[in-house]
Structure 1
Amino acid sequence: MQEDKSKIILFVDDGLDPIAELVAPVQFELDTRKLTDGEHTLKIVSKSPTGREGIRKIKFIVRNGPAISIEGISENSVVDGTVPLMINAYDKGNQKKFIIEGSETPQSVPNWLWILLIAFLGWAAFYLITNFSL
């Protein structure tokens, strides 16, 4: 029965040894924890019972390590003098339970919010002075 089904061989990156050899159709779980963070390529080679081959390559990015968030500088920024940075690194941890501590990145208050707050307080002061003067 195996001779009439296609064979599937999986490779990661340019590896010569396959990570799996399976018979189609199949469900497969790729464990990315064994891969380094960064870009990778999954190469799927199928061999039909008649001897014909098909190849498909899928690029993907692994990010199992702690996520790094940075505020104060962005990609290709032009900077001068002292640049204050806020950097946070946090891990997903145990995915079976949610841990709040360290999973959120603190951020500074945006400038537009300060401007809006000052404008509102200025309007409120003007309103109080003009309508409730004795």
Structure 2
Amino acid sequence: MSKQLQKVILFMDDNTVPFAEYAPPIKIDIDTTRLVDGEHMLKVVALSSDGKEGIQQVAFTVRNGPAISVIGLQSGDTVSDVIPITINAYGSETNESFVISASETPKPISAWVWSVVLVFIAWGTYYLISYFH
């Protein structure tokens, strides 16, 4: 009777074919640039020397592509007619030149800022009218 060795088998997502098989302990680097952006599942199957099996699944998110910012539309919004949206995508590419214009995602001015400005203008108008009257 031969003694079975311990081993760790690694699967990615729903693949039935393992991408790696090692004797423990192991330390590996997973190249996420070969995975599409989004949710993924690393499945680790460990086999003991007496044939017992342990399984652990680790969910993780890959985000190697450019970051995407959408202003004017959010998940779950109910919309009608024409809606203006602003979409910006930016990543960590290294370029020789840096363009300052349009390098930031434009954000709309908050309603509270407009409220403060209008209150200040109204107060100033009231002050001027009462001072010169």
TM-score bucket of the superposed structures, by smaller chain = 0.7 to 0.9
Query: CA separation in 1, counterparts of 2:24 and 2:16?
Result: 21
- Superimposed CA distance per residue, residues 34-90 of structure 1 (whole angstroms, 9 cap, x where no aligned partner): 111222111001111222111111222222222211111111222222211111111
TM-score (norm 2): 0.78
Query: CA separation in 2, counterparts of 1:103 and 1:50?
Result: 59
Aligned match of 2:83: 83
Query: Is there any run of 5+ residues in structure 2 with no aligned partner, and where?
Result: none
Is 1:92–1:103's contact at 8 Å kept on the other side of the alignment?
Answer: no
Instruction: Name the SS of the counterpart of 1:73 in structure 2.
Output: coil
Aligned match of 1:12: 12
Instruction: Name the SS of the counterpart of 1:107 in structure 2.
Output: coil
The letter for the 2-side match of 1:70 is: V
Query: Is there any run of 5+ residues in structure 1 with no aligned partner, and where?
Result: none
Query: CA separation in 1, counterparts of 2:41 and 2:21?
Result: 17
Instruction: Name the SS of the counterpart of 1:78 in structure 2.
Output: coil
| Change in CA separation of 1:81 and 1:60 when aligned onto 2, cut-off 3 Å | same
Query: CA separation in 1, counterparts of 2:112 and 2:70?
Result: 20
Is 2:42–2:58's contact at 8 Å kept on the other side of the alignment?
Answer: yes
Aligned match of 1:105: 105
Is 1:44–1:56's contact at 8 Å kept on the other side of the alignment?
Answer: yes
Q: How many pairs were matched up?
A: 127
Query: CA separation in 1, counterparts of 2:114 and 2:5?
Result: 66
Query: CA separation in 1, counterparts of 2:99 and 2:47?
Result: 47
Instruction: Name the SS of the counterpart of 2:77 in structure 1.
Output: coil
Instruction: Name the SS of the counterpart of 2:46 in structure 1.
Output: strand
Percent identical across equivalent pairs?
41
- Superimposed CA distance per residue, residues 85-125 of structure 1 (whole angstroms, 9 cap, x where no aligned partner): 1111111325xxxx786663221112221111111222233
Question: Deviation above 4 Å: which 4+ runs of structure 1?
Answer: 99-103
Query: CA separation in 2, counterparts of 1:120 and 1:4?
Result: 80
Is 2:4–2:51's contact at 8 Å kept on the other side of the alignment?
Answer: no
TM-score (norm 1): 0.77
Q: Which moved further from structure 2: 3-12 or 38-47? A: 3-12
Query: CA separation in 2, counterparts of 1:18 and 1:116?
Result: 60
Query: CA separation in 1, counterparts of 2:64 and 2:58?
Result: 19
Q: Which moved further from structure 2: 106-115 or 118-127? A: 118-127
